[in-house]
Amino acid sequence: MAMKSTGGGPGGASKGRGAPGNPEGRFESTAREAVDDGWPTDRDTLPARPPTVVTVERAKTVLSRHDSPDLNFSQSVNPYRGCEHGCIYCYARPSHAYLGLSPGLDFETRLFAKEGAADLLRAEISKPGYRCEPINIGSNTDGYQPVERERRITRALIELFRETSHPVGIVTKNALVERDLDLLGPMAALGLVAVSISVTTLDNGLAHRMEPRASAPMRRLEAVRRLAGAGVPVGVNVSPVIPFLTDHEVEPIIAAAAQAGATWVSWTLVRLPWEVKDLFREWLETHVPLKAAHVMSRVHEMRGGKDNDPRFGTRMTGEGLFADLLRRRVDKARRGHGLDKGQPSLDTTRFVRPSPAGQGRLF
């Protein structure tokens, strides 16, 4: 796959970014390939730290629904397209191709903010036919990525959930979630919220290269501790597990989660759909070249000989001898720390249908 020219250090890596390159999206009809002919190129002029550019998206709807048997929710809201965390393994990267952008650096530097998302959601859940079910934030991109500090779109959504007593599940790898404890605490007392903090590794150096703008591992565990201390049900998502790179940390992460106050642990195997597989390979060759072949070989053993397995039932955990061994290790560690009960159910009976935005109540 041809790669767009990028700024940065050796191997095309950009400081503070996850993707080493910027491949054309799979829907593009043309591709550009950089050739060194001795003349100055874009690589010589682009910044070593590509800036983050945020565009306001005027969405028509924000509530997504699905029927995947692999997930414990059927509704989700994603306040942002793209994610500044820059996790190289992110399965959501290919979605940027639908915008005519690259799943590489574009995904983590060219973001789209759904301003007014709370008003759109208010209109949707106020419809007479709406049936209350938990809504998930963070199923595609992280609602607490750095841009949320200023945009506060996720905050506005949670304010709506509290106002209407609507249950919400949150998945994040950013300690910024602590900012909203004033809302999450009272909601938790009513059984309306559960938070999952993703922890991929306890190695700060590896985390900085693999998920450069997410909170540091220990900071995420501190967020678990603070959420638990405020009475918010919180679990740790050991995700994704990457063979030969992070799989040896499964037990230490689960032990750290228990110590921090988590009440459940979930996990998934690394997924490499569409353009992610090429980006991930290039990242391996750039950052851990001696392990690159071993990682991909083991991925193939756990994915039926392929880079990726999109089938329901196996896409999250893999299959075969090594996948089964990993599953047994996780189960044993969870049982040993009392974290095998799963995420608690949220209360849907308290929901109060809101009035549409701008419309007052008669009584």
Domain boundaries, the chain: 53-336
**What is the spatial distance between Cα 158 and Cα 67, in angstroms, rounded to a whole number?**
24
SS3 175: helix
Kindly tell me if the per-residue pLDDT of 170 is higher than 90: yes
Structure-token pair, residue 170: 């949150």
Position 180 pLDDT exceeds 70: yes
Q: What is the CATH number of domain 53-336?
A: 3.80.30.30
Question: Both ends of the chain: CA-CA distance in Å?
Answer: 62
Buried b (16+ CB within 10 A) or exposed e, 179-214: bbbebbeebbeebbbbbbbbbbbbeeebbebbbbbb
Of 89, 92, 93, 88, nearest to 76 by C-alpha is 92
Whole-number pLDDT of residue 359: 54
- Whether pLDDT at 9 is above 60: no
Q: What is the pLDDT of residues 105-141, one digit of tens each?
A: 999 999 999 999 999 999 999 999 999 999 999 888 9
Average pLDDT value for residue range 260-273: 97
Mean pLDDT of 20-39: 66
Mean pLDDT, the chain, rounded, equals 90
Asked if 231 and 185 count as a contact pair (C-beta separation under 8 A), the reply is yes
- The rounded distance, in Å, linking the Cα atoms of 330 and 334 is 6
